[in-house]
Each structure stands twice: as C-alpha cells, then as structure tokens.
Chain A
Amino acid sequence: AQRVTQPEKLLSVFKGAPVELKCNYSYSGSPELFWYVQYSRQRLQLLLRHISRESIKGFTADLNKGETSFHLKKPFAQEEDSAMYYCALRGVGFQKLVFGTGTRLLVSP
C-alpha cells in the first residue's frame, strides 16, 4: 500500500527561524516524492520533487529511504512561506499521486 503521513497539522514559527515539515511514507518500491504548496487564495502547485534535487524558494527536501522520509526544510522562514504544504508520493507504474493530509505553516513576524 502507498501511504503518506504528515504528523503535524499546524506548524507555527517566527520569521527567521528554521522550518522542518515532516513527511513519512510507506511504499515497498522506489517512489517519487513531491512537495506541493497552496498559498492563501491560490491553487495547489508543485514546490519541488526529489528527483530534481533543487532548492525552490529556499526550501530543500532530501529523500531518506532508510527512514522512509522526505522532510521539507528551510533555514530561515519568511512570512510569505505561510501556506498549506502537502507531501505526495507516486509509485512506480502508477499514474496517481498519493497525498498526505497536509501541514499548515504559519510564519509570524
């Protein structure tokens, strides 16, 4: 079975603090992992994927197959990072994305 777990519904930090949004997955093969973000009054959009190994808006995420995790990190949070973040998994041979329940990040001034 494919499953994505985001243990925190809400993560509240101050501007300039480090951020880590947790994502754990369950999948027997080698998955593709993604982070999607939804800013207030905007549509859901792709933030980054593990294959590209790039930093987007200062965010990075490393796939840890041993711990089956794909945590999203940013060293210094900004107020504009406040949004809903979803971790998603795509299994080999599957077209669908399996999403977690999401974590709301609130960055206060």
Chain B
Amino acid sequence: DAGVTQSPTHLIKTRGQQVTLRCSPKSGHDTVSWYQQALGQGPQFIFQYYEEEERQRGNFPDRFSGHQFPNYSSELNVNALLLGDSALYLCASSLTENTGELFFGEGSRLTVL
C-alpha cells in the first residue's frame, strides 16, 4: 500500500494563474482532507470531502475549491493565485469523516511568483 499519494510534488505558478493538485487516499479510506502549511506554521485546514461532498470548510476564500471522485480520490483547485498562496499543500485521508487519525501525503509544494 503506497499510502496517500499526491501530485505534483513541486510546481511554480505566476500570480493570477490557476492550479490543480491531486490526491489518492490510502487504500480503504473514503475521506479526504486538505491542509495548507505555510513556512514555519502548522497545517491549516482547508476542507474535507466525504461521499463526494464538501463536509466542512476552513477559513479559506472561494478561490479554493475541491472535488472528490467516486474512487475517493480528490482534487484541490486554487484560482487567481496570490503570492500568499505559496505553501505546502497536504492531503490527508482517513477511515471515516469523524476521526482525528489522519494519514498524510508528502505534499505538493506550490510557489507563486
């Protein structure tokens, strides 16, 4: 089991562009959460997906959107990129939506120039 996999691992964008990040959950997991980790900070919750629906959302603008597919994989989309969106984006999967036991991917590092 490869665990949670994310792609791409690194990417560079310019302000105003759009980005899509992808995540495959750990085998047997049906819930996916996304976190943003800025340099020197702890991960910050963006949103969680379960049964292809957004279940809960953190304090992030509508520029951040997501999707979950029938195979439980997920995408995070960010529109109109700002310099402040530069961060490590972590995907985490879990067995259920009501648990704090998360399995993290290695992250996608986004740099916005």
A: which residues have CB within 8 A of B?
A: 4, 32, 34, 43-46, 49, 86, 88, 90, 94-102
Judge whether A46 and B102 touch: CB under 8 Å.
yes
B100 touches A32 (CB 8 A): yes
Interface string of B75-107 (1 = CB under 8 A from A): 000000000000000100000011011111111
- B101, A100: Cβ atoms closer than 8 Å: no
A108–B97 CA distance with the chains assembled, in angstroms: 40
Q: Which of B12-20, B35-43, B61-69 contacts A (4 or more CB under 8 A)?
A: B35-43
Q: How many whole Å from A3's CB to the nearest CB in chain B?
A: 11
Q: Please report whether the interface of chain B is mostly helix, strand, loop or mixed according to DSSP.
A: loop
List 29 A-B residue pairs with CB atoms under 8 Å apart, sorted by A's residue number.
Answer: A4-B42, A32-B100, A34-B101, A43-B104, A43-B105, A43-B106, A43-B107, A44-B43, A44-B90, A45-B103, A46-B101, A46-B102, A86-B42, A88-B100, A95-B97, A95-B98, A96-B33, A96-B48, A96-B58, A97-B45, A97-B102, A98-B45, A99-B42, A99-B43, A99-B44, A100-B42, A101-B40, A102-B41, A102-B42
Closest Cβ of chain A: how far from B60's Cβ, in Å?
Answer: 11
User: Which residues of B does A touch, CB under 8 Å?
Assistant: 3-4, 33, 35, 40-45, 48, 55-56, 58, 90, 97-98, 100-107
B98 to chain A, nearest CB (A): 7
A96-B101 in contact given A43-B106, A101-B40 (Cβ < 8 Å)? no
Q: Total number of A-B contacts with CB less than 8 angstroms?
A: 52
Chain A residue at smallest Cβ distance from B43: A99
Let me know if B48 and A95 touch, CB within 8 A. Answer: yes
Q: In angstroms, how far is the closest chain B Cβ from the Cβ of A16? A: 29
Determine the main DSSP class of A at the interface with B. strand
User: In the bound complex, what is the Cα–Cα distance between A98 and B102 (angstroms)?
Assistant: 12
Nearest-CB residue, chain A, relative to B46:
A96
Q: With A and B bound together, what is the CA distance between A4 and B55 in angstroms?
A: 23
Inter-subunit contact B104/A44 (CB<8 Å): yes
A45 neighbours in B (Cβ, 8 Å): 103-104
Residues of chain A with a CB closer than 8 A to B44's CB: 99
